[in-house]
Amino acid sequence: MTQNGIVLVVSVSIIQDNEVLIIKENKPSAIHKWNFPSGRIEHTEDILDAAYREVKEETGYEVKLTGTTGIYNFISSANYQVILFHFIGEIIGGSLQIEEEEIIDSKWIPLSELMNLDGKELRDEGVMRQISDRLINQKFHSINIFNEQLTTPPGSIHIGI
């Protein structure tokens, strides 16, 4: 979603056995760049629901969000102002099924090797490095800081929580 020229994005690091899943994008703005599963928040969509949706669309996995590394405000490589909400997730269902139109590859890498990735191969290197540092050093926050959207119908339950 774009709000007043600002792109609102969710991103999720899926961690399993001390490894993290990264994807290689095939989008025109990030061709052949490694990234965490991510995408724009849709109009009227809850931030947490957007995170679940993007992971499912890009990887086939269903996740439980276990924390956040923070919120990142930056100018993207495509010259957009971006506010990115980054989460940590663990797999609770599904199987790896890459969405081939937008994603061309994926791989699990040890958390300790995140900082060794070639910066030229990363989408928005600066923010990827900040997130990687927080993942490696386990600098996480509770997702409880994200309140349910006020327009969420009473009694609705978030998938994966």
Which stretches within the chain are classed as H helix?
47-59, 125-136
Q: What is the pLDDT of residue 100?
A: 78
Above 70 in pLDDT, residue 94?
yes
Q: What is the pLDDT of residue 148?
A: 63
* 2-145 belongs to CATH 3.90.79.10: yes
For the beta carbon of residue 113, count every other beta carbon within 10 angstroms: 12
Q: How confident is the model at residue 28 (pLDDT cuts 50, 70, 90)?
A: confident
Mean pLDDT in residue range 42-70: 96
Q: Using a CB cutoff of 8 Å and minimum separation of 24, what contacts does 119-124 make?
A: 121/32, 121/33, 121/34, 122/33, 122/34, 122/35, 123/25, 123/30, 123/33, 123/34, 123/35, 123/77, 124/35, 124/74, 124/76, 124/77, 124/82
pLDDT, tens only, 113-134: 999 999 999 999 999 999 999 9
Domain range annotation of the chain? 2-145
Above 60 in pLDDT, residue 157?
no
